Amino acid sequence: MKVSELRKQIITHSPEQLQVLVVELYKALSSSARKNTSLDALIKNPASGKAKKQKNIRRPIHEIDDDTHRFVENARMQYFLVPNRHISKKERSTWRFIVMKLYKELITEKADQEKAAELLETL
């Protein structure tokens, strides 16, 4: 259903029906979708506008460090080349995207640039 069709449908509903509808739609969203959008702020203040995705959520350097070392270890063991139990078939084909994501996170790291440079060398 498109947004215009949705608006035509809900215009006939009572406030009680709309309240039930909003609660059910909120339950249907995954918790990650609720966190990535400012949906809670929109519910608290509907006049603020539409819900927007939060961008540039920075991960702590220790998480990036763990992911980088795990990737490099798996690459050295050549787990991305042949079928194995360590890396799933789906993940084997996406190793380039993993590297690009880590690279972008390390380049934009501002808090601990020395650690980021060290991890870039490792990568």
Please give the pLDDT value at position 52. 57
Both 36 and 15 in a single domain? Answer: yes
Both 40 and 67 in a single domain? Answer: no
Both 42 and 73 in a single domain? Answer: no
Both 42 and 68 in a single domain? Answer: no
CA 118 distance to own-chain centroid: 25
Structural domain boundaries, residue 89? 61-122
User: What is the number of structural domains in the chain?
Assistant: 2
Report pLDDT digits (tens) over 111-122. Answer: 888 888 888 888
Both 44 and 65 in a single domain? Answer: no
Supply the pTM of this predicted model. Answer: 0.54
Low-confidence ranges of the chain (pLDDT < 50): none
Both 33 and 83 in a single domain? Answer: no
Asked if residue 53 belongs to a domain, the reply is: no
Question: What's the distance, Cα to Cα, between the start and end of the chain in Å?
Answer: 45
